Amino acid sequence: MSSASFNYIRAAELTDALARGERAGAAYLAGGTDLLPLWKASLTAPQEVIDISHLPLATITRSGDALTIGATARLSDIAAHPEVKAHYPLVCDGILASASGQVRNVATMGGNLLQRTRCPYFRDAGLACNKRDPGSGCGTRHGENRHAVLFGGSPSCVATHPSDLAVALAALDAKIVVSSANGERELALSELYPLPGETTAPDSSLRPGEMITAIRMLNAARFANHATYLKIRDRASFEFAVVSVAAALRIEDGAIAEARLAAGGVAPLPWRLEKSEAALIGRAPTEEAFAEAGALAIGGARPLEGNAFKIPLLRNAVIRALQTAGGQS
Amino acid sequence: MPSSFALACHNRGRTFQCHGDVHHMTQSLNANIPKQSIALSIKINGTRYEREIAPTATLLDVIRDELGLTGTKKGCDMGGCGACTVLVAGRRIASCLALAASFGEADVTTIEGIGTADRLHPLQDAFIRHDALQCGYCTPGQILSAIALLAEGPLSIDDIREGMSGNLCRCGAHANIVAAIAEVGGL
């Protein structure tokens, strides 16, 4: 148990929460399913916990081509929402591949996107980790690294982003709505997650006090008929991805008109496979096209000593996800 | 996972908490933060309880240590094992990951609110007949999780296996647990 105490503040208004959130030592609490384990393990020690779970930020609305999901919508409520199920099944697949029923009933959309890495060197306060303790080094790079990144790593950090939902949202080109005391701004999902630098590895590009208040997707329902989330993990359920792939296709007159592929478990952020996507355009959804997309997915991979097995795993996961998505009607 | 050192401190904390000292102890370690006390009014199994709690208290610790409802178990205390599962407005949650102060208005059901020795809940009866437990430590969480799972909608055997993955049984009774839930679910 952590030895550090904190004060609890239940935010009555968003403006109140945002003003308090700018202060040093402040942390937002929504579901708490990541914050509390981090606090219990002494990996974080906020002085003031600002509870935003009672703010009216949990609504899910579909209006025309746009879907908006509020930041504090619970994962299980998003996955069970009739319009999300009907038009954005990839979002439901990603959520239902995550965590357990108990956790999904409490964990929120915004908290899921901002959950901290599961890298075991980060999660153990006794080990070197630049993300947790800048300048202390990266224990993973020359240590136990079967879980580490293939893409986007730096000498300072090779930790993956653990969210399944983020991978699904990356494939659907979701935008992140961020609020602060200064107003609102919108980011592409990829802009939320900076790549690690030479000596530091920030989790997100959010500034102090900024809060994700919603995500938005435009016209993403066009992929509803040909989308899947494939998650490969060490046990069948309640486990983080070793490798995962979100695949979304739009097939018109027997040819692939649009393709979106994002991979999880291989990078510090959901890793879009743009070369694979481009190779699929105009092709029939055939084994040959899928195999080519799979081969292109692994270009540029930079394995460490223990994680080279992820390279063929990623290639094959891309092929299998495309077979599933392409075979739907 | 918690280290052995953390676990030892944690057990010590529980002993102190029985004497009502733990909050003073933890507060004194972080002198920068003025001591805060939260007035909690929470409904559990139909009864309303009013307590002053520490801002850091989890729902699990309040249920067990403040209210003495020890049917809810503490296993990993990190959301991984499901022994602490309770229902909030009918939905299953891991009470060890719930900050009690955030759940002030919650309507909570613990295993003490499910069945009685004379009139078991059908799942409790099925667990006994299917030999779905050995030591029994995980059973309250298994029962509450299964109640909520069956209420979530129609299920297949695979759905039960997937849906119960948040509840671990170190005695390895999972096959019989699935069979007991399947029977009550009409499969």
**Interchain CB distance below 8 Å, A8 and B101:** yes
B139 and B70 within one domain: no
Scored b (16 or more CB within 10 A) or e, A41-69 reads bebbbbbbbbbbbebebbebebeeeebbb
Q: Which residue has the higher pLDDT, B90 or B20?
A: B90
Q: Is A99 in a helix, a strand, or coil?
A: coil
B89 and B16 within one domain: yes
DSSP at A108: B
Residues 195-254 of A with CB under 8 A from B: 236-238
The three-point CA angle B131-B136-B138 to 5° equals 110
> Which of A3, A49, A76 is closest, CB to CB, to B26?
A3
Residue of A nearest to B93 (CA): A102
B106 and B84 within one domain: yes
Give the residue among B52, B55, B95 at the shortest CA–CA distance from A46.
B55
Average pLDDT over residues A192-208: 92
Is the model's pLDDT at B9 over the cut of 70?
no
Last residue of a domain, one of B113, B137, B169: B113
B95 and B23 within one domain: yes
| pLDDT above 70: percentage of residues in chain A | 99
Q: Which residue has the higher pLDDT, B173 or B34?
A: B173
B126 and B108 within one domain: no
**Interchain CB distance below 8 Å, A1 and B161:** no
B155 and B107 within one domain: no
B96 and B21 within one domain: yes
Which residues of chain A make contact with B145, given a CB cutoff of 8 A? 101-102
What's the first-to-final CA gap in chain A, in angstroms?
Answer: 51
Is some CB atom of chain B closer than 8 A to the CB atom of A66?
no
Residue A93 to residues A75, A98, A327, B100: CA-CA distances in angstroms?
A: 11, 9, 17, 31
> Which of B32, B166, B167 is closest, CB to CB, to A47?
B32
The three-point CA angle B46-A74-B49 to 5° equals 20
Each residue of A148-164: pLDDT tens digit? 999 999 999 999 999 99
> Which of B2, B30, B88 is closest, CB to CB, to A5?
B30
Average pLDDT over residues A4-9: 96
Each residue of A257-307: pLDDT tens digit? 999 999 999 999 999 999 999 999 999 999 999 999 999 999 999 999 999
**Interchain CB distance below 8 Å, A40 and B54:** no
The total number of structural domains that make up chain B: 2
Distance CA A156, CA A159 (A): 10
| Residue B138 lies in domain | 122-184
> Which of A45, A54, A237 is closest, CB to CB, to B165?
A237
Which residues of chain A make contact with B81, given a CB cutoff of 8 A? none
Give residue A329's pLDDT band: very low, low, confident or very high (50, 70, 90): low
Each residue of A96-122: pLDDT tens digit? 999 999 999 999 999 999 999 999 999
Scored b (16 or more CB within 10 A) or e, A167-187 reads bbbbbbbbbbbbbbeeeeeeb
Is the model's pLDDT at B7 over the cut of 80?
no
Which residues of chain A make contact with B102, given a CB cutoff of 8 A? 8, 10, 29, 32, 51, 53-54
Whether the Cβ atoms of residue B174 and residue A236 lie closer than 8 Å to each other: no
- The answer as to CATH 3.30.43.10 being correct for domain A7-51 is yes
What are the residues whose beta carbons fall under 8 Å from the beta carbon of A245, sequence distance 6 or more?
A167, A229, A230, A261, A262, A263, A264, A314, A317, A318, A320, A321
Average pLDDT over residues B52-77: 98
Whether the Cβ atoms of residue A299 and residue A226 lie closer than 8 Å to each other: no
Is some CB atom of chain B closer than 8 A to the CB atom of A24?
no
pLDDT confidence of residue B15: 28
Average pLDDT over residues B35-52: 96
Each residue of B111-162: pLDDT tens digit? 999 999 999 999 999 999 999 999 999 999 999 999 999 999 889 999 999 9
Each residue of A205-224: pLDDT tens digit? 999 999 999 999 999 999 99
pLDDT confidence of residue B3: 32
Is some CB atom of chain B closer than 8 A to the CB atom of A100?
yes
Question: Tell me, what CATH number does B158's domain have?
Answer: 1.10.150.120
Right CATH number for A226-327 from 3.40.50.1360, 3.30.390.50, 3.90.78.10, 3.90.700.10? 3.30.390.50
Distance CA A265, CA A307 (A): 11
Inter-chain CB pairs, A–B, below 8 Å? 121
pLDDT confidence of residue A85: 98
The two beta strands, B107-109 and B85-88, are: antiparallel
Is the model's pLDDT at A2 over the cut of 60?
no
Is the model's pLDDT at A31 over the cut of 50?
yes
> Which of B2, B33, B78 is closest, CB to CB, to A47?
B33
Is the model's pLDDT at A241 over the cut of 70?
yes
pLDDT confidence of residue B68: 98
pLDDT confidence of residue B28: 42
pLDDT confidence of residue A295: 98
Is the model's pLDDT at A48 over the cut of 60?
yes
Is the model's pLDDT at B24 over the cut of 50?
no
Give residue A198's pLDDT band: very low, low, confident or very high (50, 70, 90): confident
B80 and B37 within one domain: yes
Is the model's pLDDT at B22 over the cut of 60?
no
Phi then psi dihedrals of residue B47, to 5 deg: -105, 135
B130 and B96 within one domain: no
Give the residue among A94, A117, A97 at the shortest CA–CA distance from A262.
A94
Is some CB atom of chain B closer than 8 A to the CB atom of A323?
no
| pLDDT above 90: percentage of residues in chain A | 97
Q: Is B171 exposed, middle or buried (0-12, 13-18, 19+ CB in 10 A)?
A: middle
pLDDT confidence of residue B105: 87
Question: Tell me, what CATH number does B64's domain have?
Answer: 3.10.20.30
How many other CB atoms are found less than 10 A from the CB of residue B63?
A: 26
Is the model's pLDDT at A179 over the cut of 80?
yes
State the best of B92, B144, B160, B174 to mutate against chain A, taking most chain A CBs within 10 Å.
Answer: B92
Averaged confidence pLDDT in chain A? 96
- The distance from CA A278 to its chain's CA centroid, rounded to whole angstroms, is 23
Each residue of B69-122: pLDDT tens digit? 999 999 999 999 999 999 999 999 999 999 999 998 899 999 999 999 999 999
Q: Which residue has the higher pLDDT, B99 or B6?
A: B99
User: Any idea where the domains of chain A sit in the sequence?
Assistant: 7-51, 226-327
State the best of A77, A98, A102 to mutate against chain B, taking most chain B CBs within 10 Å.
Answer: A102
DSSP at B99: B
pLDDT confidence of residue A45: 96
What's the first-to-final CA gap in chain B, in angstroms?
Answer: 36
Residues 107-136 of B with CB under 8 A from A: none
B164 and B96 within one domain: no
Residue of B nearest to A104 (CA): B93
B75 and B13 within one domain: yes
Distance CA A233, CA A315 (A): 15
Distance CA A144, CA A121 (A): 9
Is some CB atom of chain B closer than 8 A to the CB atom of A297?
no
**Interchain CB distance below 8 Å, B3 and A124:** yes
- In the numeric block, the tokens 């990993």 are attached to B76
pLDDT confidence of residue B14: 32
CA distance A210 to chain B (A): 21
How many distinct helices (H) and strands (E) make up chain A? 12, 12
